[in-house]
Amino acid sequence: MRYQPHLSFIAPARTTAELWRTAAGAVLTLVAGIALYQLVFAITSNVIGPEKTQALIDASSFDKDTAFAALYALFTFGFFAVGLAMAVHGLHSRSPATLFGPWEAVVSDFLRVFLAVGGLTVALMVVLPQDYDLVRNEGMTRGHWIALLPVSLAAILVQAGTEELFFRGYLQQQLAARFPSVPVWLVVPSLAFGLMHMIPGEAGANAFVYAVWATAFGLAAADLTARTGAIGAALGLHVVNNIAAVLLVSLSGAGSGLALYHIPMQLGDPRIGALILPELALTLCSWLAARLALKV
């Protein structure tokens, strides 16, 4: 495996690679993100009043199927990006910019993967047969969807970017600087990424299915990061996936407000389990398309 670029990617983490620092950084990221979230609502309450603030909270609840609720959920990841920046600066005495890798590579790799995997995804969505009929999202007209598109793309970039910076940037760098063993720094962050997507409350028995898929996606993203020495490729892969799953075709129910079309299933639908193999195959094809585009 051609992981030579990974050595320069993890170099900034070598001087503070102690496990306690990494664990503390993860905790600080979470705590600071939650604290910032609460601070914003406290300020909002003082400005517009508690009743309007509560109405805003109710409207943005993740169990809603509105565009506002979906955008709100995506943008809140930005609080955790700020928390991560605080952790990297405070606990590791390095710039948060070191989580990205070389900037030119980030931009170049992102664009190449975005175009290659995006083209593949659209082609497969058009060509491959479906076992279900798509349903138009009655709350999202095409005109409304187009008008919201710049904001929707920005929200997806914030959400996907935060996850990539934490899992493929922070965790992968820190663990690779501490442990030279590939299975450790490749698999452990990917398993953590999978566990984050395990939501038994909403998905029920399907929670394990989502965790398996997310772990496989994490492995693909981690591999691309190691091959390129930057997070641009993984970010491109992630953004394409989320555009397809959030803006184009999503499961019905919570978080589906931005999609043009809905799959007539919800997170806990027992039929979801049958989709795991096609989804894993798509992840594999996307990973291969990214590698071909990057020539790595």
Count of H-run helices and E-run strands, the chain: 13, 3
Which pLDDT value is given to residue 168?
Answer: 98
Residue of 227, 217, 230, 232 whose CA lies nearest to 286 = 217
The count of structural domains within the chain is 1
Give me the domain span that covers residue 8: 4-294
Distances from the Cα of 72 to the Cα of 67, 76, 154, angstroms: 8, 6, 12
Q: Which residues contact 271 (CB under 8 A, 6 or more apart)?
A: 265
Cβ–Cβ < 8 Å for 295, 2: no
pLDDT at 46: 86
List beta partners, residue 251.
263
pLDDT digits (tens, 9 = 90+) for 192-241: 999 998 877 677 778 888 899 999 999 999 999 999 999 999 999 999 99
Q: How confident is the model at residue 131 (pLDDT cuts 50, 70, 90)?
A: low
Closest of 108, 239, 220 to residue 172, by C-alpha: 220
Query: Contact, 101 vs 230, CB < 8 A?
Result: yes
**DSSP letter at 251?**
E
* 183 pLDDT more than 70: yes
Predicted pLDDT of residue 291: 98
**Whole-Å CA distances, 74 to 83, 117, 256:** 16, 22, 12
In contact, 289 and 224? CB cutoff 8 Å: no
Q: Residues near 283 by Cβ (< 8 Å), separated by ≥ 6?
A: 213, 216, 217, 220
Greater model confidence, 267 or 262: 262
* Distance set, CA 275 to CA 198, 212, 247 (Å): 16, 12, 19
Closest CA to 294 of 108, 17, 35, 168: 108
Provide the CA 66 distance to its chain's centre, in angstroms: 20
The residues that bridge with 263 in the sheet, in sequence order, are 251
Helix, strand or coil, per DSSP, at residue 237: helix
pLDDT grade, residue 159 (50/70/90)? Answer: very high
pLDDT in tens, 60-113: 776 778 899 899 999 999 999 999 999 999 999 999 999 999 999 999 999 999
Q: Look up residue 164 and give its amino acid.
A: E
Tell me how far the alpha carbon of residue 244 is from its chain's centroid: 13
In this prediction, residue 121 carries a pLDDT of: 95
Which residues make beta-bridge pairs with 136? 261
Averaging pLDDT over each range in 1-15, 34-48, 154-168, which range is the top one? Answer: 154-168
